[in-house]
């Protein structure tokens, strides 16, 4: 019996090294292991909290599918689908909404952050963890590989599943997050968590010029021999053993070390970018991938939703 894996990303902008090393690389490796039935989602309804423009939504969604294919996710081996194609996600969210309390959702980090910024918070933002619980529980995954910032969301998912199961009988499998310690939080060019919203990213498909510009602007205010922020990114590409002679030979030479990082990043990104170009040259691939993905995802999700509807007594 194969285990099941599910994860996803919101189509809210260019993916970066943090997304890749923190989450996507794990998906690719686990899919290739052949041990999992895998589901990888484009969380477009989650993105609607941020992207409220038709053209932008459409193009960011397409781009993310191309990115998934370019990193080596093969639609024959993994179900790649769009959240909005599977209406079971929003339907199950309503069912969960009747169980989940307001104080429970008020304890979520993302909600507290938004509140601290004094923003007017939409119901969709408040309810984000409930939709994410539905995304996950419909597919009964054993593992949800994500970066550490998503840990609380998976904990919420377990709590929601537990509450449902307690009230209505065993229906949902409790999922586990899978977080690789070494890349749980990939730092950006300023040393903070790399994130689209902090403007400190190195895009996964960056051009050579973008790589040079990003690396040259890595903040190096440390006074020691090793520029910490350069080393932290370099460590994603090479082992400590491989890096030791380079950093030994260039003690305190921040420019030379940045140049070494630029060379390694170009060698890493180059083939990925070339693969992305190939996929872009085949415009029907995205459409076919999503159609195929929706078909398989729907089969699995609708079956689980039906179980939940029987359990609550509406079917």
236 is in the binding site of which of ligand TRP, ligand ADP, none (Cβ under 5 to 8 A by kind)? none
Query: Which of 73, 95, 136, 297 forms a contact with ligand TRP (CB under 6 A)?
Result: 136
User: Which residue lies nearest ligand ADP, judged by its C-beta?
Assistant: 22
Q: With binding defined as CB under 6 A, does residue 158 bind ligand TRP?
A: no
Query: Which of 37, 63, 85, 135 forms a contact with ligand TRP (CB under 6 A)?
Result: 135
276 is in the binding site of which of ligand ADP, ligand TRP, none (Cβ under 5 to 8 A by kind)? none
Q: Left if phi > 0, otherwise alpha if psi is -120 to 50, otherwise beta: which for 37?
A: beta
User: Which range in 25-33, 112-120, 143-151, 261-269 contacts ligand TRP by CB under 6 A?
Assistant: 143-151
- CB closer to ligand TRP out of 147 and 227: 147
In this structure, the strands spanning 143-145 and 176-178 are parallel
Residues sharing a CB contact under 8 Å with residue 295, sequence separation 6 or more, in sequence order: none
DSSP string for residues in the chain:
--EEEEEEE--SS--BHHHIIIIIHHHHHHHHHT-EEEEEEE-HHHHTTT---HHHHHHHHHHHHHHHHHTT--TTTEEEEEGGG-THHHHHHHHHHTTS-HHHHHT-HHHHHHHHTTPPPPHHHHTHHHHHHHHHHTT--SEEE--GGGHHHHHHHHHHHHHHHHHH-S-SPPPEEE--GGGSS-B-TTSSBP-GGGT---BTT--HHHHHHHHHTS-----SSS-HHHHHHHTTTS-HHHHHHHHHHTTT-HHHHHHHHHHHHHHHHHHHHHHHHHHHT-THHHHHHHHHHHHHHHHHHHHHHHHHHHHHT--
185 is in the binding site of which of ligand TRP, ligand ADP, none (Cβ under 5 to 8 A by kind)? ligand ADP
Query: Which of 5, 9, 66, 100 forms a contact with ligand TRP (CB under 6 A)?
Result: 9
Q: With binding defined as CB under 6 A, does residue 153 bind ligand ADP?
A: no
Q: Token digits for 116?
A: 């601290």
What is the pattern of x (binds ligand ADP, CB under 6 A) and - over residues 119-148? ---------------------------xx-
Q: With binding defined as CB under 6 A, does residue 193 bind ligand ADP?
A: yes
User: Which range in 17-25, 133-141, 241-249, 282-290 contacts ligand ADP by CB under 6 A?
Assistant: 17-25
Q: With binding defined as CB under 6 A, does residue 11 bind ligand ADP?
A: no
Query: Which of 4, 19, 140, 229 forms a contact with ligand ADP (CB under 6 A)?
Result: 19
User: Which residue lies nearest ligand TRP, judged by its C-beta?
Assistant: 43
Tell me the number of residues near ligand TRP by CB under 6 A.
14
Query: Which of 4, 5, 7, 290 forms a contact with ligand TRP (CB under 6 A)?
Result: 7
Q: How far is the CB of 150 from ligand TRP (least distance, A)?
A: 5
Q: How far is the CB of 156 from ligand TRP (least distance, A)?
A: 11
Burial class of residue 96 in the structure, from the number of CB atoms within 10 Å of its CB (0-12 exposed, 13-18 middle, 19+ buried): buried
Query: Which of 31, 130, 143, 194 forms a contact with ligand ADP (CB under 6 A)?
Result: 194
Binding site for ligand TRP (CB under 6 A): 6-10, 43, 46, 132, 135-136, 144, 146, 150, 153
């Amino acid at each position: 019996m194969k285990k099941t894996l599910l994860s996803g990303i919101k189509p809210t902008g260019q993916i970066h090294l943090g997304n890749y090393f923190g989450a996507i690389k794990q998906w690719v490796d686990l899919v290739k292991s052949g041990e999992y039935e895998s589901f990888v989602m484009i969380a477009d309804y989650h993105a609607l909290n941020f992207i409220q423009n038709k053209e932008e939504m459409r193009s960011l969604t397409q781009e993310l599918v191309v990115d998934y294919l370019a990193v080596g996710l093969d639609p024959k081996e993994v179900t790649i689908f769009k959240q909005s194609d599977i209406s079971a996600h929003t339907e199950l969210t309503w069912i969960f909404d009747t169980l989940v309390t307001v104080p429970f959702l008020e304890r979520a980090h993302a909600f507290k952050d938004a509140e601290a910024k004094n923003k007017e918070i939409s119901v969709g933002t408040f309810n984000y963890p409930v939709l994410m619980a539905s995304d996950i529980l419909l597919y009964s995954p054993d593992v949800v590989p994500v970066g550490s910032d998503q840990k609380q969301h998976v904990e919420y998912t377990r709590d929601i599943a537990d509450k449902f199961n307690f009230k209505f009988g065993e229906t949902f499998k409790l999922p586990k997050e899978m977080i690789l310690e070494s890349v749980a939080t990939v730092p950006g060019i300023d040393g903070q968590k790399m994130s689209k919203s902090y403007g400190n990213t190195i895009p996964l498909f960056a051009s050579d010029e973008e790589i040079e510009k990003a690396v040259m602007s890595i903040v190096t205010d440390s006074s020691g021999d090793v520029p910490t922020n350069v080393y932290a990114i370099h460590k994603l590409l090479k082992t400590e053993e491989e890096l030791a002679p380079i950093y030994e030979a260039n003690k305190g030479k921040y420019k030379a070390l940045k140049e070494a990082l630029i060379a390694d990043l170009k060698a890493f990104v180059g083939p990925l970018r070339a693969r992305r170009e190939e996929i872009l040259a085949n415009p029907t691939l995205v459409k076919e991938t999503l159609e195929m993905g929706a078909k398989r995802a729907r089969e699995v999700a609708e079956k689980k939703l039906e179980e939940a509807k029987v359990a609550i007594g509406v079917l």
